[in-house]
Amino acid sequence: MKNDQTLGEILRDQGISRRGFLKFCAATASLLALPPGSVTAIAAALESARRPSVIWLSFQECTGCTESLTRSDAASIEDLIFNTISLDYHHTLQAASGTGAEDARQSAMKENWGKYLLVVDGSIPTGNPGFSTIAGISNVDMLMEVAAGAAAIVAVGSCASFGGIPHASPNPTGAVSVADLISDKPVINVPGCPPIPVVIAGVLTQFLTFGIPELDELHRPMAFYGKSIHDRCYRRPFYDKGLFAETFDDEGARKGWCLYKLGCKGPTTYNACATTKWNEGTSFPIQSGHPCLGCSQPDFWDAGGFYQALSIPTGDISRAAVYGAGAGIAAGALMGALNRGRKSHAVRVHKKVTIDDLEKEHEK
């Protein structure tokens, strides 16, 4: 595959019809909540887009994000677009290893300096540089080196976006997110543990078509992270009616009632799971009967327990109340004794006034 081919040419070479391509553009437009008129704009932009060079760096991660992307079931146009990007470095997927692999990264950077897209999955340890290295280079050094020539950075997964599980308390490696280290380049966060494949593809399409997409305050594309799971959840009417599953096997659970009481983080989680769903739109965690873990939010691992409802106190309230009552009884008893002392003192020093005293007072 030649690097100077446009995306349109590549797709045609792969046997994608004009009709199929436009259908994809229409689907992308609706996914991004764009008006129908934008379909032609997307088509034109994608058609003429040059095959972008992508360098994918994997740091402290579990490969779940790459798995999510590569295990997306049937071959789709999204996959083909992924096939058409020039994935010049991805140490899990590339055949080359050792010096060959690092040479590929260096030459891709050199040839496309200032233009390539950097994709990062995994968090970056800032403790001992030896905690995570690739070819003897620490993650921080490699990120800084590659980021310097990138047009933009896409942080795929919650680890790269927010530190994720390595960042969880007590964060032994001093793990941080990409945005914690890079401030002079646009960083697009695509969080999730893992992110939805179609969202990764959608963000890439959006980037190729319109450049940097509109982002929320956590650098997430608004098109996919603009609404909470709760607002788009098909179980929402049960929440509003006050119908909840109390356990995983009660009548409420069987009837598909709201999972809020079982710890669902839908109300505070922003992602597209409830709309795009997973496995080609088959289902998503809540649909399969499990509360949302909030995996696309920062610190989801330390957010007070997966099965604890959002509103409830995390501490031992009964013990706090007992301490309070104990101290209150002690303080109240002390104050009561002081008050009684004051009262009996007042009685002791009280002088009775007689009629004679008053008459004497009057005579004065």
Partner 1 sequence: MTETEFLLWARGPAFQGATVIFVLGVTFRLLEILLLGRKPNLAEPRGSAMLGGLRTIVTRSFPDAGTHKRSAFTHYMGYIFHIGFFITLLLYAPHILVIEKAFGVSWPALPTTVVDATAVITMIALIAVLLHRLKDPVLRFLSNFQDYFAWFLTILPLLTGYIAFHRVGLPPPALIAIHILSVELLMVVFPFTKLMHAFTLFMARWYNGAIAGYKGVNS
Using CB under 8 A as the criterion, which residues of the chain lie in contact with partner 1 when the complex forms? Answer: 217-218, 228, 239-242, 244, 260-261, 267-268, 297-300, 302-304, 309-318, 320-321, 323-325, 327-329, 331-333, 335-337, 339-340, 343
Strand-strand pairing, 116-121 and 150-156:
parallel
| In the complex, least distance from residue 260 CB atom to partner 1, rounded to whole angstroms | 7
| In the complex, least distance from residue 329 CB atom to partner 1, rounded to whole angstroms | 6
Whichever of 99 and 311 has its CB closer to partner 1, that residue is: 311
State how far the alpha carbon of 331 is from the alpha carbons of 318, 337, 340, in Å. Answer: 20, 10, 14
Task: Name the token pair of 8.
Answer: 């349109």
Task: Name the token pair of 80.
Answer: 């083909």
| In the complex, least distance from residue 241 CB atom to partner 1, rounded to whole angstroms | 5
Residue 246 region by backbone torsions, left for phi larger than 0, else alpha for psi between -120 and 50, else beta: alpha
| In the complex, least distance from residue 254 CB atom to partner 1, rounded to whole angstroms | 18
Whichever of 254 and 340 has its CB closer to partner 1, that residue is: 340
| In the complex, least distance from residue 31 CB atom to partner 1, rounded to whole angstroms | 23
128: number of Cβ within 10 Å: 11
Whichever of 21 and 300 has its CB closer to partner 1, that residue is: 300
Whichever of 288 and 311 has its CB closer to partner 1, that residue is: 311
Whichever of 146 and 175 has its CB closer to partner 1, that residue is: 175
State how far the alpha carbon of 181 is from the alpha carbons of 115, 125, 176, 300, 323, in Å. Answer: 20, 11, 8, 21, 44
Q: What distance in Å separates the CA atoms of residue 100 and residue 91, rounded to the nearest whole number? A: 11
Whichever of 184 and 240 has its CB closer to partner 1, that residue is: 240
| In the complex, least distance from residue 332 CB atom to partner 1, rounded to whole angstroms | 3
Buried b (16+ CB within 10 A) or exposed e, 167-177: beeebebebbb
